[in-house]
Amino acid sequence: MIDVHNEVGDLQRVLVHKPGAEVVRMTQFELEPLLFDDILSVDLAQKEHALLQEILGHQGAEVLEIAHVLTRAFATAPRAKCEAVLEVVCELAGAPELAYVLAEWEPSRITSAMIEGLRWDEVPQAPQSLGRIRAELDGPGMRMAIAPLPNLMFMRDPCIALYDRIIVGRMSTPARARESVLVHFALRYGLHDARSVTSPAFLFDDADWERNPAFRSLEGGDVLVLNERIVLIGCSQRTSAETIERLCAEVLFPSFPRLERVHAVLMPRARSVMHLDTILTAIDHQLFLGHAPMIVNKEGILVVELARNKPHKVLEGLSVADLLRRELGPETQVVPCGGDRRLHQLREQWTDGANAVCLAPGRIVLYARNVRTTRTLVQDHGFRNVELSAFQSDEERQQRLAAIQPGERVVYTFGGGELSRARGGGRCLTMPLTRSRT
């Protein structure tokens, strides 16, 4: 069941991916095309991610690993559907001849190839195509038949749970193009269990590779669900104006009769603010965490209102903070990421200080390195800082978690120094499938 009608209700079911061999297979020569700034230590990143999952589970969420869901999909989907997905993936990789080889593999082995990538020497039985000969001639860095997917840890982006449906994303870069294909397939055929005997309903899932890229660029980090009446979508480096307009006309307004307005937040096209959730996330009813220069002071930001059967309205002079107060009530507040000083606001926005995932009203997860953001939450908004680390003993972590009182506002801070180097925080790393509506 898919049920996401807000950003702050109790998180009940969530999809994640712990980084693995796909990160190891990324060298310094692939950083730019694979959208990374540095090489990660996979062992440390895995420990940090395991801690994130522990926090999610302690708060009561069922945590699903996309690799397990994908393997189940390859094991249970009709063979023709499996072959069709492999054909798309291999075509995107520039090695269509591999699809017929992979179709004969065991489901877990297929999943590994889809996520971790595949070297040509791992498929010696594949046809000796000219592309393969050229790749092997170009040296070790070019010997991947299928590139790894190190960005898959950012589960928020490939598909978007919205109300009771899943919207299939349109990844804006070649490095992530197959993620939405794989996640869509995994959720359609691998999500069945004792509680869910039917697959979710999907929207925006037609194959549209022939369209101009401007009309097929949509990533989940840009979509914030305020309530059943209002959605915010960032028009960012990764989500285009044309796709937002298309999504509203073709999908959102026709499919959701209670949806009244979509606010497009026009942002700078910059890696530092690649998605809307890098500068704004909800952390409680009428409380948000935001990058003040943009969200409060409107630097480089313009909001456009898209409403059903009405012309677009440019909200001149209105900041995102003003918009939130107008839509949710005058008591709505934006907590400045990094505190009151611009220097620290800039620094902590870069380290995902505005990218919190809300586990329940007033229960959020942040990286420990964003100390001024945490201090502001504690001193000005009554949060309790529960500091957790992969280097603490299990007993110590459990004691700290057990000390939390019902109804208490909590910011779980964990040592995500390695994960944060990948440019994504708690919201980026999680894809909620079910939340409570209160």
Strand order in the sheet with 159-162: 159-162, 165-168, 201-203
Is the same domain home to 229 and 322? yes
To the nearest 5 percent, what fractions of the chain are helix, strand and coil?
40, 20, 40
The answer to whether residue 2 sits within a structural domain is no
Nearest to 42 by CA among 20, 17, 67: 20
Question: Looking at residue 209, which CATH number applies to its domain?
Answer: 3.75.10.10
Would you state the pLDDT for residue 194? 41
Contacts by 342-351 with C-beta closer than 8 Å and gap 24+? 342/293, 344/372, 345/291, 345/292, 345/293, 346/293, 348/372, 348/373, 349/272, 349/273, 349/278, 349/279, 349/291, 350/272, 351/420
Residue type, 286: Q
Confidence of residue 321 (pLDDT cuts 50, 70, 90): very high
Domain stop point among 146, 162, 184? 146
Instruction: For residues 80 and 192, state if they share a domain.
Output: no
- Within 8 A by CB and 6+ apart from 302, the residues are 265, 266, 314, 315
Model confidence at 193, in pLDDT bands (50, 70, 90)? low
- Is 1 contained in some domain? no
33 and 79 both lie in a single domain: no
At residue 98 the predicted structure's pLDDT band, cuts being 50, 70 and 90, is very high
pLDDT at residue 198 is higher than 70: no
Q: Do 212 and 86 have their domain in common? A: no
Both 18 and 164 in one domain: the answer is: yes
Residues 117 and 218 both lie in one domain: no
Residues 329-354, mean pLDDT to the nearest whole number: 97
The confidence score (pLDDT) of residue 420 equals: 83
Total domain count for the chain? 2
pLDDT, tens only, 246-281: 999 999 999 999 999 999 999 999 988 999 999 999
Neighbours of 74 (CB within 10 A): 26
Alpha carbon distance 124, 331 (integer Å): 64
Structural domain span for residue 159: 11-71+149-435
Q: Among the listed ranges 23-27, 237-241, 309-313, 412-416, which one has the minimum average pLDDT value?
A: 23-27
pLDDT on residue 143: 77
Confirm whether 5 is domain-assigned. no
Does residue 394 belong to any structural domain of this protein?
Answer: yes
Residue 326 within any structural domain of the chain:
yes
Whether 243 and 253 map to the same domain: the answer is yes
- What is the pLDDT at residue 142? 54
Residue 44 counted as domain residue = yes
Last residue within a domain, chosen from 94, 112, 146: 146
DSSP 375-430: HHHHHHH--EEEEE-TTS-HHHHHHHHHTPPTT--EEEEE--HHHHTTS--TTTT-
Query: Could you tell me which residues come within 8 angstroms of residue 431 by beta carbon, excluding any fewer than 6 positions away?
Result: 14, 15, 16, 155, 156, 159, 161, 220
State pLDDT tens for residues 37-65: 777 788 999 999 999 999 999 999 999 99
Clarify whether residues 53 and 79 are in a common domain: no
β 165-168/302-307 pair status: unpaired
For residue 289, being part of any structural domain is answered with: yes
For residue 64, which phi and psi values (nearest 5 degrees)? -105, 135
Q: What is the Cα–Cα distance from 404 to 409, expressed in whole angstroms?
A: 9
Structure-token match 């269509």, residue found: 96
Examine the domain organization and report whether 391 and 266 are in the same domain.
Answer: yes
Q: What is the pLDDT of residue 195?
A: 52
- Phi, psi for 223 (deg, rounded to 5): -110, 120
Q: What is the band of 73 on the pLDDT scale with cuts at 50, 70, 90?
A: very high
Question: What is the length of the chain?
Answer: 438
237 domain residue, yes or no = yes
90 and 226 in a single domain? The answer is: no
Beta bridge partners of 235: 266
Last residue of a domain, one of 146, 176, 193: 146
* Pair (215, 316) in one structural domain: yes
* Least confident range of 177-186, 191-200, 284-293, 424-433: 191-200
Residue 410 pLDDT > 70? yes
Mean pLDDT in residue range 125-131? 82
Residue matched to tokens 């930001």: 301
Q: Do residues 310 and 219 share a domain?
A: yes
Two tokens at 356? 């919190």
Q: Average pLDDT of the chain?
A: 92
Which of 435, 358, 428, 356 has the alpha carbon at shortest distance from 19? Answer: 428
